[in-house]
Structure 1
Amino acid sequence: MTLARRAAAPLAGVLLSAALLLGTRGLDQVARGGQLGPGFWPRLVLIGLGLACLGKLIAEWRRPPAPVSLDRREPGARSPLSRRRLAAAIAAIVLYVVATPVVGFALATAAFIAVFMSLCGTRSVTALGANAMVGTVLLLYLFIKLVYLPLPKGEGPFEALSLLVYRALRIF
């Protein structure tokens, strides 16, 4: 693969994140003094995206060209994508979005992380459980304590379960 083809996506990512970053200029006009404005987090994400794409662009530029092979597959090429796993991953994302208001952020996120990691090939139940729990707890602290974002607690018994988790983690 030529350098132009390898560098096209990272370069597009750098340019897109820069263009979107310019579009966030007017977001802080409604910010109160001493508080983060509504443009802070989108800018932070766009800067991170731009830096990651820039890093990938530099890595692709510095990588030596691959030797020419008579084999049709590229050296180091990945195995073909499983359409069934891809469809299941998309369904998991859609189900996560639909289920979160009903079962609450904590339970939906823990289940989503476990299911998605399983679809990605993780087989260890211990690794699935540990990552789901640690990931959920970190996201809860990030969104509730740091960003002050109200998350869905769920309905009925799920709300009671969410409040129990929040109290156990001393979030509330």
Structure 2
Amino acid sequence: MSLKYPDFLDTFSQKIGKTDLALATLVLLNAIKRTGPLLDKLLTTATPEHCIVHTIHTTKMSSTSQKHRNFVAEPMEEKEVTELAGIGPVLGQRLSSKGFDKAYVVLGQFLVLKKNKELFIDWLKDTAGANVKQAGDCHQCLSDWCEEFL
């Protein structure tokens, strides 16, 4: 199935749903910047299913949670510790009880540990009882935030 540009966008938005259309549009715009002349070929020969699979495999943010994307999208300010990816209410309470009530306090520890993934994961496991996945998600969230804002 090959579609021309207007039909392609309609079919693409139907396949992924309206809520993900904004993210998909950003991904497509980013692809346009990188591919230039190849875009015409993509729009005339690729199926919507191909583009969805390609988007999922080539977009770094697609493997992160909405919570992660929300956190990385804006300055930290006074965000609660539970706004960090990987930190839910239980871990948030444990961290808060030890003085890590705001995301910026956890960021401070992340920086003290020199952004080292292994050290940070061990610290979060020891301090709040996080599992490896939760600690890894939190590390990646802070790492991506630092890349964006520091």
> Which is helix-richer, 1 or 2?
2
What is the TM-score when the length of structure 2 is the normalising length? 0.30
Q: TM-score, normalised by structure 1?
A: 0.27
Higher-Rg structure is 1
